[in-house]
Amino acid sequence: MPMINLFYFRKSALKTLCSTLCCWMLINYANAQIKEQGIIPQPFKVEKTKAVFNFTPSTSISLGEGIDINNLIFFNQYFQSLSGYQLKVNKKATINLNIDSTKVTQPEGYILWVTAKQISITGHDQAGVFYGLQSLVQLLHKANGKITVQGTAIEDHPRFAYRGMHLDVSRHFFKVEAIKKWIDLLALYKINTFHWHLTDDQGWRIEIKKYPLLQGISAYRDETIIGHKKDSPHRFDGKRYGGYYTQEEVKAVVKYAMERHINIIPEIEMPGHALAALAAYPQLGCTGGPYKTATYWGIFDDVYCAGNEETFTFLQNVLDEVLPLFPSKYIHIGGDECPKTKWKACPKCQQRIKDEHLKDEHELQSYFIGRMEKYLNNKGRQIIGWDEILEGGLAPGATVMSWTGEEGGIAATKQHHNAIMTPEKYVYLDYYQSLYPSEQLAGGGYTPLSKVYNYEPITQELSGDEAKYIKGVQANAWSEYMASPTQAERQLFPRMLALAEIAWTAKENKSYPNFLKRLRYEQPLLKILNINAANTFDEITDQVTESADRQVQLNLMSTLPGGQIYYTTNSTVPGLKSKKYNKYIIVTASGKIKAAVFNGAKQYGRVYEKSFDVDKAIGKNVTLTNQPQGGYNPGNTFGLVNGVFGSKLYNDGQWYGFNGDDLEAVVDLGSVQKISQLGINILKYHWQKMWEPQLLTFETSADGKTYTEVYRQTAFNDNGINEVRANITPVQARYIKVKGINKGIIPPGEYIAGAKAWLMVDELIVN
Ligand code: ACM
Ligand code: ZN
């Protein structure tokens, strides 16, 4: 079998996909254990019967009136690679494809019937027939050289009209064959929109003939950061990097996608994330440059000048070349993360604010977006923008893509604007899917498969009327940490399948255990497609809780069917002879707990490990003057003294976050004791609005009334986790007061300047 990489195909991508599917099915059905089949995403209604339809070389297919021949071509490519023969067209066939919008009333819906004698797919429309065939492909069964399908009656249609996947090709560039393969996979899972993020600070990826320097300069960067953007100092690889799609290539991709019922929405970013364009055309920036295509990840102050007419001419000319390539009604114009620093200092931008009677730079952003919207509306298109386009007022017909949270989408629906939900917290697939230390480098926090799967786009805040403005849901794949196709696959699969199910499957039909079951059936397919899919979902996860007597209780879990966990407490590798995990583990000493899950004698996945630091404060009572907020442990204090340190993943459940408020915690040791060290961990990620305190102090007291300051610190240098360990002159004390004065308002020039800073702390340490 050829070695196939998701992102680099030698032959026709579809042919390869088909031949690999064939191999998958051969293996799948040769393996007696994998008999059950399922469809991802789960259909609306499925009934199974005992009937079996047998394919033979004389089985033929009839195409009802108006059925696109592509349906048969695609199906035959799959089918032939499985069976060795093709289905021919015959009016009196046993397989019938039809379109009947009276019988199937829902757009993109289909009915699939399989009896012993007949298979019939009736679609509401072409897409419905196509999706019926995608489901049939997943149900084909090969055993003893025979192709069969179990009898079934499926009635299916999507929950949402907009089912999107995004891919950033600026931070890392993926070649055309890779994109086509990507599109094949989207189609297989009934995703109908591909949001192609084509321009950003680190590279401009679409040919614009009028501006050749976009190809000559903007498509390339001098080098690329190594490691994570929060690492300090930044290190670079010294290698020029880049590439772009020619207009001919773009046309081919758009056609390829349309044949598979996928609409491509191009994104041309403005007014921020523009550094690559400014590198080539510095007159479009407020200062005139010089600028360079960015070599690391982040948000950059240099954006398009909103006071310069040439900026608008440039962007309009760019769009004039983009629009003919993309028939999409919607064009994405970005709008996110546009710092206002340069606009504030720019005479031209300030003049524009005056001339247009705008209140401030936020209204200038709104002016910018509104003006571009008008231009696109005049060309018959609608805009989509990230939720920051709400700043300073929403352009009249704009659709909001809600990413910073769900609030933007909700706000848009209240103004009767359409919205697409893609909240960072749930569906950013560039985030970590596992808390294991060996997990590959990723973008932000922790978003396991279960969290993606359980995301519900229609939140309770949306009344029945407003909910109809939520057009759908999308997952995003920012490629900062997906430098290679293999890395991208590991990040996106299988979480993309969870997105497909959120988008397609009726809410009442969703079930995570059932999804996992179908996902396990899907493994051989993903393997044979040579997709480097993650299998973290059945690995061990944990919860550190408080026992009735405030001891630290470690709970381990795995969804692996028949899985049994074994563990060690002395850092050795766990095996079948280690301790068997039953209910929980009470942690009484510092050290590392390791565990592995086994099905019989076979270990699944990687070894789990967790370190505990047991000190004098463990499990002791803590009083907080201000409550932490958001997802950072409001209403509980045990996590501050549970022996587990928060990791670099800020949403790992360990961190306590104070939004604009100070930290004031008192630990009661229960008795007066000798104390010689006090400590705390502080998470500092300015790009995540997480700031070190202005001042940190430790005070001690014997009676809880009179406190004496024993330590103070005002400088925190390390980006990431600051481990404060203050060795003090030994004192006798029962109470420890820890105060951290919040940074307050994020200062100008910093990420999200003007917002309240988060003070993030974990683990109060007393020795
Ligand atoms: C975004 O993630 N900046 C839209
Ligand atoms: Zn300006």
Picking from 553, 580, 612, the residue at the C-terminal end of a domain is: 612
* Ligand 1 center from residue 336 Cα (angstroms): 6
Q: Is residue 521 part of a domain?
A: no
Which ligand approaches the C-alpha of residue 352 most closely?
2
Give the E-state strand segments of 534-662 in sequence order. Answer: 541-546, 552-557, 564-568, 579-580, 585-587, 591-599, 602-612, 621-624, 656-659
What range defines the domain where residue 275 resides? 165-172+195-233+264-483
578 with 655, same domain: the answer is: no
Half-sphere exposure of 412 (CA within 13 A, CB side): 33
Q: How high is the pLDDT of residue 528?
A: 67
579 with 633, same domain: the answer is: no
In this predicted structure, the answer to whether residue 105 has a pLDDT above a threshold of 80 is yes
135 with 223, same domain: the answer is: no
Alpha-helical regions (H) of 493-598: 495-504, 512-528
Which of 337, 388, 688 for mutating ligand 1's site (highest number of atoms within 8 Å of CB)?
337
* Ligand 2 center from residue 374 Cα (angstroms): 21
Neighbours of 430 (CB within 10 A): 22
Picking from 585, 612, 639, the residue at the C-terminal end of a domain is: 612
| Catalytic position from the list 200, 373, 466, 539 | 200
Q: How high is the pLDDT of residue 688?
A: 85
What strand order describes the sheet that includes 541-546?
541-546, 552-557, 585-587
Q: Establish whether 273 is a catalytic residue.
A: yes
Query: CA-CA distance, 301 to 732, in Å (whole number)?
Result: 51
DSSP 8-state secondary structure symbol assigned to residue 440: P
Q: Is residue 743 part of a domain?
A: yes
Note the pLDDT tens digit of each residue in 610-636.
Answer: 999 999 999 999 999 999 999 899 888
**Overall number of domains in the chain:** 4
Note the pLDDT tens digit of each residue in 263-281.
Answer: 999 999 999 999 999 999 9
Neighbours of 207 (CB within 10 A): 19
Dump the DSSP string for 716-766. ---SEEEEEEEEEEEEEEEEEEEEEE---BPPTTSTTTTSBPEEEEEEEEE
Q: Is residue 661 part of a domain?
A: yes
**Percentage of residues of the chain with pLDDT beyond 70:** 95
590 with 646, same domain: the answer is: no
Q: Is residue 513 part of a domain?
A: no
761 with 704, same domain: the answer is: yes
Q: Which atom of ligand 1 is nearest to the CA of 386?
A: 4
Cβ–ligand 1 distance for 297 under 6 Å, the answer no
CATH code of 608's domain: 2.60.40
Note the pLDDT tens digit of each residue in 175-187.
Answer: 999 999 899 899 9
Q: Parallel, antiparallel, or unpaired for β 199-200 and 203-204? A: antiparallel
Q: 719 near 231, Cβ under 8 Å?
A: yes
Q: Is residue 757 part of a domain?
A: yes
Dig out the tokens for 9 from the structure.
């195909």
Q: Establish whether 267 is a catalytic residue.
A: no
DSSP 8-state secondary structure symbol assigned to residue 399: E
152 with 200, same domain: the answer is: no
In this predicted structure, the answer to whether residue 26 has a pLDDT above a threshold of 50 is no
Q: 610 near 593, Cβ under 8 Å?
A: yes
Q: Is residue 249 part of a domain?
A: no
Q: Is residue 111 part of a domain?
A: yes
Identify the CA nearest to 476 among candidates 410, 420, 530.
Answer: 420
700 with 577, same domain: the answer is: no
| Catalytic position from the list 108, 125, 337, 388 | 337
Picking from 589, 612, 635, the residue at the C-terminal end of a domain is: 612
Query: CA-CA distance, 440 to 206, in Å (whole number)?
Result: 29
Query: CA-CA distance, 324 to 731, in Å (whole number)?
Result: 76
Query: CA-CA distance, 372 to 390, in Å (whole number)?
Result: 15
Mean pLDDT of the chain: 92
* Ligand 1 center from residue 34 Cα (angstroms): 40
SS3 assignment, position 129: helix
Q: How high is the pLDDT of residue 319?
A: 98
**Paired strand residues for 552:** 546, 587
338 or 142, which is more confident:
338
Q: 162 near 230, Cβ under 8 Å?
A: no
CATH code of 419's domain: 3.20.20.80
CATH code of 636's domain: 2.60.120.260
Q: How high is the pLDDT of residue 61?
A: 95
Query: CA-CA distance, 93 to 63, in Å (whole number)?
Result: 9
Cβ–ligand 1 distance for 336 under 6 Å, the answer yes
* Ligand 1 center from residue 587 Cα (angstroms): 40
In this predicted structure, the answer to whether residue 306 has a pLDDT above a threshold of 60 is yes
SS3 assignment, position 51: strand
Note the pLDDT tens digit of each residue in 496-548.
Answer: 999 999 999 999 999 999 999 999 988 877 776 788 999 999 999 999 999 98
595 with 675, same domain: the answer is: no
Query: CA-CA distance, 605 to 435, in Å (whole number)?
Result: 13
320 with 394, same domain: the answer is: yes
For residues 705-719, average pLDDT: 92
Q: Is residue 238 part of a domain?
A: no
215 with 124, same domain: the answer is: no
Q: Establish whether 337 is a catalytic residue.
A: yes
Cβ–ligand 1 distance for 489 under 6 Å, the answer no
SS3 assignment, position 583: coil
475 with 595, same domain: the answer is: no
Note the pLDDT tens digit of each residue in 180-210.
Answer: 989 989 999 999 999 999 999 999 999 999 9
717 with 747, same domain: the answer is: yes
